[in-house]
Structure 1
């Protein structure tokens, strides 16, 4: 009896987009990787049409670009672009934290507190900490009650997928980051909008300093 190789399943462009974005974000498809439709379809067990749709969407967002003689590749950020990205993160994440100090409900503050406590137990697992770090920042954005700010920060998060690795894997950075989150949470709980914004901006500046070290091969 001949065993047939399973055919790639059909998938929507949205599902293919999520798969490719996750692969870029996790580093499975690092900057400079050549993106061939047929290979991606086989790799993710999906058909080529949704892969093509996903690549177009990623290109529109700046995560994929076309190089002469190479076709589609995963984009990369140069130093200037990275600095611009972190500068805007500092401004917008700070604004979100300040608004959260005004608008967050008691339940939302409790959720933030529980997130900080949980993360203190994840310091030995940078990958897990990176995932919960994103959840913490997302909760602050939602608590800010500004749909336009939330949408802008979500689009910025997509651009962050182009940065290789996580700064939380750098020795001591995970613990520092969690305590910075604790400071942001405490200011939000105290309804101190200025303090929350300052704490959030300081957190992003510190992350940028560590990112520069990573990009230059330092610690």
Structure 2
């Protein structure tokens, strides 16, 4: 299935091709993606409505999150992700649990590559969302993670964070495997809390990485 202009632009933002503060030019986007300007214009309007883009004079730029927006986003993410983990502990099939474990095992070889690890991290969390077997929750988490694309750095860039994050992932998988709903929710909530704390420290230090991280 051919992707529409909206999806192409959104994926480019998520991949770090366009980062917070970058200007999006209709003609350049049309040429890059090989589509006409009309669907690009409509996609830009839709992304602006969703607060993924912001106005800078007459130009549209990729939006960024201020401190309060970041805090609000992490509160919502923490609660929704915790619910997903609890539901996964209740509903996940054995095969889904094995896939989660394989992801953790494979990611141990990525701890020195924050960008690769952050991409793997997205896949891991997405797998938990799907294992919740609740389509409405998955939809809401998709919106939350779309907003995460507006963060210019990854908390996994912090020294030693990759190893500790994987240990936290393992605790989440263990609780899901054991069917421990409360334990899975608590482990996921603690994981998000630590990621938020690490991000705040990175931002305070002015830390920035290369493209594409989430987060």
How many aligned residue pairs are there? 207
Q: CA separation of 1:53/1:14 partners in 2, compared to 1, >3 Å: closer, same or farther?
A: farther
**Which has the bigger relative contact order, CA under 8 A and spacing at least 6?**
2
Q: TM-score, normalised to structure 1's length? A: 0.88
> Equivalent residue for 1:158?
146
Separation in 2 of the partners of 1:14 and 1:62?
21
2:11 to 1, 16, 22: 22
**Contact between 1:13 and 1:51, CA under 8 Å: does it hold in 2?**
no
> Equivalent residue for 1:8?
none
CA offsets per residue over residues 137-169 of structure 1, 9 Å max, x none?
111111111111110001111010100022112
The root-mean-square deviation of aligned C-alpha atoms, in Å, is 1.8
> Equivalent residue for 2:134?
146
1:35-184 pair list within 5 angstroms: 35-67=24-56, 69-184=57-172
Deviation at 1:13, TM superposition (A): 9.5
| Counterpart secondary structure, 1:62 | coil
Q: Structure 2: where are the runs of 5+ without partners?
A: 208-215
Deviation at 1:218, TM superposition (A): 5.3
Q: Structure 1: where are the runs of 5+ without partners?
A: 1-11
CA offsets per residue over residues 144-198 of structure 1, 9 Å max, x none?
1111111000111101010002211222111111111000000001111110000
Separation in 1 of the partners of 2:78 and 2:166?
17
Are 1:33 and 2:22 an aligned pair? Answer: yes
Q: TM-score, normalised to structure 2's length? A: 0.90
| Counterpart secondary structure, 1:199 | helix
**Contact between 1:35 and 1:73, CA under 8 Å: does it hold in 2?**
yes
